[in-house]
Amino acid sequence: MKSFLFDPRTFISPPFIRCPKCDKDGFGVLMIRENSYWRRCRECFYPSPTDTPAIFSLPKLNKKVIYLDQFAISNMMKALYPKTKTHSKTVLDTFWLKLFERLDSLCKLQLIICPSSGFHTNESLLSPYFQPLKQMYDLLSHGVRFYSHDTIKRFQICEHASNWIQGKAEKQLYLNSQSVVYGNINAWQERLIFSFNLNYGPKEIDDLRNARESIHGGLSDVFKRWQSEKNRTFNDWFIEESMAFGRVSLGVYMDYLKRFVQISTGLAKLTINDIFPPPSIDLIHAIQSVFRDASINDSDIRHKTVEYLLSSSLKDVPFIKIYSMLYAALARKAATGRKEPPNQGMANDIAFISILLPYCDAMLIDNECHTYLKEKPLCDEISYGTLVFSHNNREDFLTYMNEIEIKASKEHIDKVTEVYGETWKKPFTTLYCDDSRLDVSNT
């Protein structure tokens, strides 16, 4: 039999102040909640369950939402983790350590949050360093995570469909970051991060890799076609891309219905893929629900759904507009002399930028996509107030983060010190030490 001594004082952390009951300097922080924190004495355990809890309110926060591309997560991990093959090379570029220290410090100061996403997970699973990568984005996200990209797409489409059926298709959508994440962006953070690992089998990872290669193969084929389209304009490619979303969604839906009929009549056997239908099915059902709520007759809903998904107004849905413009920019490059097709990560980059950009205050992305976003008409048309940075202007990104701390009020910094202590903002550079866990207190 093994035993251990449980000491409740372990959960009472500094900074300590004088206890109002026993007069000793043991009145520490017991827990931190979204807008308050609790104190308890390590010496006399005041307040007891029969006492009034010692709860102190905390001011509202307004954190900047910053999204980091996978290459930034990866390079920061390599700079801190000696067991990676390229650690020594990455350390020579001091930017990545500086970047981590700034981000971690600002997160602890409750000034920024760097939400993770399914894009991070999928990219990390294809790396031999999945767990260290996960530790990095778990640390900087503090549990705040974007909904799946299909869910965010569905949210935008459903709101736009609701506007469209009311004759208000041009009405701007409600693009609030809190509405598309798990967790509270503006919560005061607990000291500890609890991270859970799901078991991803070899088949799931192979499926991810095969899907990535298939998408890249398709993009390479389209790139060859673009190279031959010398007489087309940017707007031609933009319209082609923006109209494709509705047509493809309807095609997937019709194929699913045909498959369902085949299974129902015994012409085909049910498979695991039939139990979990593609996202287009949920999307179209959601659109039909929107129309039903708008008092459209059941007999007209199918017709209205087809009409909506084939309408040109879809080009104004944010994620469709952004990815269509990025692909049109790539097509323009192909038609004007670019020889090499995009790399394997391009489709993924365009996907996360188009879906997440409107919900972020700043993004650190790859050079190529950043270049496209600075070209006309993208720089004029894609305006959501998001500051975009890349490797090419990475020092500007550090300057931007430095300014965030400079602009923080003295009252805010004092409150952080009151709750977490003087040394709290120290970066967690020992994240990958053998005895480290995701306990970021560093006190």
Read off the pLDDT of residues 127-173 as tens digits, 9 standing for 90 and up.
999 999 999 999 999 999 999 999 999 999 999 999 999 999 999 99
Cis amide leading into 47 (omega within 30): yes
Instruction: For the chain, give the mean pLDDT.
Output: 93
Q: What is the pLDDT of residue 27?
A: 98
Q: What is the pLDDT of residue 267?
A: 86
Read off the pLDDT of residues 209-248 as tens digits, 9 standing for 90 and up.
999 999 999 999 999 999 999 999 999 999 999 999 999 9
Give the confidence band of 443 by pLDDT, cuts at 50, 70, 90.
very low
Q: What is the pLDDT of residue 440?
A: 38
Burial class (CB in 10 A: 0-12, 13-18, 19+), 346: buried
Average pLDDT over residues 329-358: 96
d(CA 423, CA 417): 8
The CA-to-CA distance between both ends of the chain, in Å, stands at 33
* 142 close to 193: Cβ distance less than 8 angstroms: yes
**Regarding predicted confidence, which is higher, 440 or 244?**
244
Q: What is the pLDDT of residue 4?
A: 61
User: What percent of the chain clears pLDDT 90, i.e. is strictly above it?
Assistant: 83
Read off the pLDDT of residues 290-311 as tens digits, 9 standing for 90 and up.
999 999 999 999 999 999 999 9
Q: What is the pLDDT of residue 2?
A: 65
Does residue 25 carry a pLDDT above 70? yes
Q: What is the pLDDT of residue 194?
A: 75
Tokens of 244: 């494709």
pTM over 0.85: yes
* 277 close to 290: Cβ distance less than 8 angstroms: no
* 140 close to 434: Cβ distance less than 8 angstroms: no
Give the confidence band of 199 by pLDDT, cuts at 50, 70, 90.
confident
Q: Write the CA distances from 271 to 204, 274, 276, 277, 285, integer angstroms.
A: 17, 5, 9, 11, 21
Give the confidence band of 439 by pLDDT, cuts at 50, 70, 90.
very low
Average pLDDT over residues 44-60: 96
Write out the H or E segment, with its range, that includes residue 269.
Answer: none
> Can you give the length of the chain in residues?
443
Average pLDDT over residues 8-26: 94
Q: Write the CA distances from 370 to 57, 286, 318, 367, integer angstroms.
A: 41, 33, 17, 5
d(CA 308, CA 291): 10
Does residue 205 carry a pLDDT above 70? yes
